[in-house]
Amino acid sequence: MRSHDDAFTLRGGRYVPARSGRSKRNRLDDDDLLFEARGHRPEWDVVDDGPEQGSRWSTWDQSSPTEKGPEPYPEWLVTDLGAVDTELGVVKTGKEADVFLIERGVPGSARSCLLAAKRYRSAEHRLFHRDAGYLEGRRVKESRMNRAMAGRTAFGRQLIAGQWAAAEFAALCRLYRAGVPVPYPVQIVGTELLLEFIGDGAAAAPRLAELRRDTADLADLWRQLVGAMHAMAQLGYTHGDLSAYNLLVHRGRLVVIDLPQIVDVVANPQGPAFLARDAHNVARWFAHHGVTYADGDELADDLLRTAGLSR
C-alpha cells in the first residue's frame, strides 16, 4: 500500500495528487510521440515482398468476370494470382492512348506471356478529334452523365475515356467470339485494356501499310479483309476508322486492331456513312497497290446488305 507521501508530488509550488503507476504505464509520453512523428517502425514490422521496381503484381484478380476475355481462356494466357507484370517498353503512342509491352510471368518458373497494355489518356488530355459522331447511339442511363459528356466537362471527358475503353473491350469480346480476326481481349481495368500481343517475340507485327509489296500476298490479304468486314457487318458493326494503319499482318494473317470508335451501324444515324467510308478507304489502298478489282462502291453496297440496311 502506498504511503501518504507517495500519494502527492510537489508541482508548481504546491502538492498535487501523483499519477498511479497504472496510469503512468498507459500514458503516451513525449518519447513515444517523437518516435511516431518521425515515422519509425520496428524492423520486424517492415516487410518488402513486392515486385521489383518497374513491375507490378498481375492485375488479373482486379477484373470481374465480365471484365475478362471470353472463356475458355487461351492456354498461353497466364492467370496465376502470383504472377508479375513487367513493363518492357512502348509499342505505340497516339493522341487518345498509348500501348505498352507487358510480360506477365510467374517468378521462378518459365511460365509467361506477352500482352499489349492499351492505356487511354486521362481526362485532362485531348481525346478524339470530332468524336461526337462516333458517340451517337452510345448513351448512359443517367441524364447527368449524358449532359456532362455533351458539355465536355472534366467529368464528362473522363466518362468519355471510360466509354472508349469499355466500348472497345466489349466489341473485341463479341468479335473474338464470332471468329473475327482481332487480338484476344484479356481484361479491362479502368481505362487500361490488356490484349494479346501480336508479333514474334517482343517485335510487333507490321501494319499493312508497312509491308513490302513484293513480299506480301495482297490478293489474299484483301480476301481476308473483306471476310472480316462482312463478319463485323453481320454483327451490326463497322470499324469506324479503318485503314492500312490499323491492320496488322502476322505470318500472312490479317488482324484488325484499334477499335475504340467502333460504330453500331444500326443505332448510330451516321452508321451507313461510316461503313461506306471504311469500305472506300481500304479498297482505295489495295487498288493503289495492285489489287485492281478492289472496288469501294461494290464493297460498301455488299456490306450494307449484310448489315440489313439495304436490299
Confidence bin at 127 (pLDDT 50/70/90): very low
Cα 146 to Cα 299: distance, rounded to the nearest angstrom:
35
Supply the CATH number for residue 166's domain. 3.30.200.20
Number of domains observed in the structure of the chain: 3
Mean local confidence (pLDDT), 188-216: 93
Closest CA to 180 of 112, 117, 262: 262
Please state, for a pLDDT cut of 70, what percent of the chain lies above it: 70
Write the pLDDT tens digit of every residue in 136-184: 554 444 565 555 445 555 555 556 667 788 989 999 999 999 999 999 9
In a domain, 311, yes or no: no
Residues ≥6 apart with Cβ < 8 Å to 28? none
Q: Tell me which of 6-10, 36-40, 252-256, 265-269 is least confident.
A: 36-40
And the C-alpha cell for 54? 518497374
Rounded CA separation 309/304 (Å): 5
Average pLDDT over residues 114-122: 90
Task: Answer whether 105's CB lies under 8 Å from 268's CB.
Answer: no
Last residue of a domain, one of 185, 200, 215: 200
Task: Let me know whether 195 and 222 are in one domain.
Answer: no
Percent of the chain having pLDDT more than 90? 61
Classify residue 12 as left (phi > 0), alpha (psi -120 to 50) or beta. left
**In this predicted model, what pLDDT tens digit does every residue of 282-291 receive, in sequence order?**
999 999 999 9
Q: Residue 94: its pLDDT value, please? A: 82
Task: Tell me, yes or no, whether 242 lies in a domain.
Answer: yes
Residues tagged active-site = 241, 258
pLDDT band at 205 (very low <50, low <70, confident <90, very high): very high
**pLDDT score for 163:** 78
* 194 in any annotated domain: yes
Whether residue 191 lies inside any domain: the answer is yes
Domain presence at residue 40: yes
Residues 85 and 38 grouped into a single domain: no
Domain that holds residue 255: 206-306
Average pLDDT, the chain: 82
Give the highest mean pLDDT range of 15-29, 33-47, 62-76: 62-76
Q: What is the pTM of this model?
A: 0.76
Contact assessment for residue 109 and residue 145, using Cβ atoms and an 8 Å cutoff? no
Q: Can you name the residues that pair with 238 across neighbouring β-strands? A: 263
Does some domain include residue 113? Answer: yes
Q: Give the C-alpha separation, 39 to 196, whole Å.
A: 43
Same domain, yes or no: 36 and 63: no
The reply to whether 258 and 301 lie within a common domain is yes
What number is the average pLDDT over the span 65-81? 96
Q: Is residue 288 part of a domain?
A: yes
Residue of 256, 252, 269 lying closest to 309 (CA atoms): 269
Dihedral of alpha carbons 280, 127, 199, 180, sign? negative
Q: Final residue of a domain: which of 200, 233, 267?
A: 200
Q: Once rounded to an integer, what is the mean pLDDT over residues 259-266?
A: 92
Mean pLDDT of 10-23: 53
- AA letter at 226: V
Q: Do 12 and 81 fall into the same domain? A: no
Q: In whole angstroms, how far apart are CA 12 and each of 7, 9, 15, 16?
A: 16, 10, 8, 9
